[in-house]
Structure 1
Amino acid sequence: MMDIKECTCTVNNHKQCAGRVPVFSSLDGTELSQVVSLIVQKWYPKDAFIFMEGDIPRDFFIVSRGKVKVYGYSPEGREQIMYVLYEGDFFGEGNLVRDKEADICVQAMEDTVLCTIDKDRFRELMIKYPQISLKIMEVLCQRLEKVEAMLRKISPKDVDSRVGMLLLELVQKYGRKENGAVCLELHMSREEMANSIGVTRETVSRKLALLKKAGIIEFLEKRKILILDEAALHDML
């Protein structure tokens, strides 16, 4: 059984966690302190489940350190990653409005620290500070747009588009300009990349090799790619 621990963290740790979350960005210092007082931090080792399909989660979760994947399964039983969430991202918003068994799994991709707030206490915050609800809706709309964009690309003949879309999404989030190119540190394994766009790991590896051969990307050290021709990735969409 995975060793999940409640962190013995300071109030300052909690404040740093809450302060980096966009949904709390509109709160002043006093209001943010009220949020901080509700936070319990928990440590999850790599591969630990935060919750699984069929569980009834009772918390709102914020990624303080590390990363988690949110996924379900296809009718064939294949893992399908919907989101990978990093520091400052949140999940568990569905728990705030209903007591329902989860139809997704959330799992730590590396050692991860989560800030958790009991859903009943978080509901009270949303009533007291309606701007939090508006920020949550804004983020959820962005996630929905991402899923809709991915669904438009899901077809057997459109693997190139899916790979291009994934690389551009990672560039937007993690790319760093470097001598006219973009250096991209991958936060996902080939398997995780494949699961996020509904293809096999072998397909992702093959497509990346073809992009390298075409002079569009270059492999650097482990999990680093140099994007030499970003426009060519856009042309793949």
Structure 2
Amino acid sequence: MPELEYLRNIPIFEELPPNDLAAIAEVTIERRYKKNMIIFMEGEPGEGFHYIKSGKVKIVQISQDGREHIINILGPGEVFAEVLLFNRGSYPATSVAIEDSVIGMIKNNDLENVVTENSRIALHIIRVMSKKLIHAQRKIKTLALSDTLSRTAQILVRLSQQYGQPVANGVQIAIDMTRQDLANLVGTTRETVSRVLSSMKKDKVIDFAEQQIIILDEKRLDRYQER
């Protein structure tokens, strides 16, 4: 797919006219990563803005006792390290390819040069980033007020929207994910999330085998979110 088409599928750039997209495409670098390769480490000097052309990436932070906390799992068209836009800080988290991936990257200096010459691009990016900040604030509020069951349901709904594939008995979340991975996303322990999943399975809301989860009843799962 031509670079302009990739960029047009990224929310932060999708509404830009062709000339603006072309200016951004000129400074885009493509990098390829094998499964489990580290893209960047938390604390390293921030190099630039990244987006996924193919594959999947997890964003993680490591606690002082060595435990991994998964912040997000991202797929094609999604962006990461955008916090470094116009900011010369260090990476706030570690990113790891969880399958063979192709990543587009725009270095900070190059993007700054583009927006300096085109205020329309700068204004558009600011608007999109403001929306993302509002979303992040809502997520923090939800985590503070929700119990483990509703948080798990919220994560499953989001993953099904991103990676769901129709199967005979429901929607399968087409991503290999351990119980620990899911627990990290929910913000709880593996034992707790296992109990929640077992309860959902008993209620015939989901089914699971090994690292695959199938949503059997989307309406009831939605109701779990509201608890």
**Normalised by the size of structure 1, how large is the TM-score?**
0.80
Q: Point out where structure 2 has 5 or more consecutive residues left out of the alignment.
A: none
Query: What SS class does the counterpart of residue 57 from structure 1 fall into?
Result: coil
* Alignment pair present for 1:96 and 2:89: no
Residues 84, 188 of structure 1: alpha-carbon distance in 2 compared, 3 angstrom cutoff: same
Q: Aligned residues, how many?
A: 221
* Alignment pair present for 1:138 and 2:137: no
Provide the alpha-carbon RMSD of the alignment: 2.6
Query: What SS class does the counterpart of residue 218 from structure 1 fall into?
Result: strand
1:7-27 per-residue CA deviation (whole Å, 9 max, x = no partner) reads: xxxxx5322321211111121
State how far apart, in whole Å, the 2-side matches of 1:93 and 1:226 are: 32
- Does structure 2 conserve the Cα–Cα contact (< 8 Å) formed by 1:47 and 1:110? yes
Residues 146, 188 of structure 1: alpha-carbon distance in 2 compared, 3 angstrom cutoff: farther
Pick from 41, 48, 55: which aligns with 2:30? Answer: 41
Aligned-residue offset at 1:71: 1.8
Match of residue 183 from structure 1: 171
1:163-215 per-residue CA deviation (whole Å, 9 max, x = no partner) reads: 22212222343446778x74132425122111111223343333222211112
State how far apart, in whole Å, the 2-side matches of 1:125 and 1:83 are: 29
Q: Point out where structure 1 has 5 or more consecutive residues left out of the alignment.
A: 1-11
Map residues 1-237 of structure 1 onto 2, 5 A cutoff. 12-127=1-116, 128=118, 129=121, 130-153=123-146, 158-175=147-164, 182-190=170-178, 191-219=180-208, 223-228=212-217, 230-235=219-224, 237=227
Query: What SS class does the counterpart of residue 16 from structure 1 fall into?
Result: helix
**Normalised by the size of structure 2, how large is the TM-score?**
0.83
Aligned-residue offset at 1:117: 0.8
Identity among equivalent pairs (%): 27
Query: What SS class does the counterpart of residue 164 from structure 1 fall into?
Result: helix
